[in-house]
Chains A and B, each alone.
Chain A
């Protein structure tokens, strides 16, 4: 459904064009735990609904992005992320004061969705949409200049500027493998990432008060091939300062994976370190969250329990901790069941499937592990 001004336009496809199949299959799906966090290239969160929201009036009169007021809004899984990201995009273009208030409001570890993910993690997704839906990059740049004048030395503006340069860099590079990138694409990619890096460095004193600074910096340092020690320092500093801001871990994991020249052994070390680092707050749930994130970035055809070092026994324990902490989250529950199916744990799958009942979240079951397949495989019948 589209909003154009205040009108719903029936001319646009409702996600039913064949192209959308290709997009869904070619990119990491939104079922990823990390969807939208390491969103500097392929694997961005699929925000079909949110991308279409362009009316500030609608979102402001019907819903509030603030943490304490989520009446009438989705508060779990991709629906919640998409809705809030759409609002960020809208506010970026139409209501910078409310955007500033929202970002300030989200900047606390207790401001989370039902599934436990920090609402602040949506800020980056929302900015991606704000820029992506505007094909004329100069308009985005002009908007940023306006914001910089209006709010000098404001963290959310600096991070928006850095996101702009990152998005613009990936626009030149393209989302394919390195072999598909043109020489001009590489040149522009580097130049623009350097602009993002300079923005982050020059504004660090105030912009690193928002955890997204560390996410952005890890992305930029990785993509620019900065020395690993520098990136590690960023990661350690970020996770000390914002212990439960998951996107910092997800982003680091992404760049340690084989896709970016790393290895599953290094990823496993990161997971072990993180579980220990967050144990007092998160129990073992970070094991589940991190390998869940890793599964979203696997090459097509690879399987989590076959191609990585993930262990179902530990993952299950992690999910049990996750469900204890966030018992109302259907999103977490659906994904728990999906991984049980992938791991071949029939009894856990069937028990979780029973718990899910009619609360199936389709987005959790995309890719090669469809609910259709799991039910056929384990003989589940309603």
Chain B
């Protein structure tokens, strides 16, 4: 039996930050990794957002290409809209807009890096702070005394003792299961994601993609598929909730790969498939059962990926840091009960992660109903958006007639669009603008503007050509 103050199961970014924080707080800390080194079991290929650099500046300023050769920052994102016939009907390339307030976020949107490089890099901060990292070790159960968790046991039967165990062990969390916090996720709480890594020469990527960091392929024949560019390669992946699939995930991913447009892109990038990856990803509207007596769950194990886009690394690091701080306080006070650890919830709820989940249900609902419901929603959304964006590029009609055709066609989508707007857009708007809604909807203000708008309407139809006569 080995004794510690704190045990962390998992050495991903969340586990490592927890271990670093705990060691810095003077706790005798051990963290476990089932791979031979952190990151080699992970395939979420991360885009690190500016929030990471804002909230963990001391750490992130050390991230360099020498440490993580795969890193590649970009400032633009591309959205491809793919129609029913698997044709790219149009795309939007977007850069940070004028309303962006955080200064660094104006010059880049994500820093992309492979987990096989990022995770060991971040774990080193924890070991440098004094935490002990045990690789190639699978934790299989929790140790309990009088029903209370007091440590862990590995597959070789080795026992490790500590008053608190942090579960940083990902989507299928042994700590969550053995502590009774959760057995298995429900089908609508977790997604399966499959992805290819393609190899390409850095110069080619830069010449062709410029400063684009990522792309999303929106289609009606597959769930939204993301493309993330690294220094010498890129990921193409897609996922959906477990209960969605009628065919194999690779069937849908291959459908993206086999788009004519995509094949052309592969050709000019001279890209070759290099690795196939798959993983589960919890994707919830709100985390629950995050702690119990002597146990705290962080990151994926706690269900913390962003409710809108399932970004997982940042929430894992935020919750990992807080969990270690709360654990340190609880261990010092001698009270590691569920009631004492409730502080964990109070603290993460105050962070940017907590604020994200405040409108989590509405964000989660709309996202699930839009890019992840290709047949139901994207089948009308793509042609509608392209009608608006691209409809004017037609030289076979007078422009005014063309605009009438476009408006009339957009109107034809309304039987499908209206229930969507009522069901998903309005609830989201209402939630986001909760406090301002009364002001916006003030009937007096509306009545003040309305007569002016009515003045703009012509009294009766007049043809300008009549004047010439």
Task: Decide whether A and B assemble into one complex.
Answer: no
Q: What is A's interface to B at a CB cutoff of 8 Å?
A: none
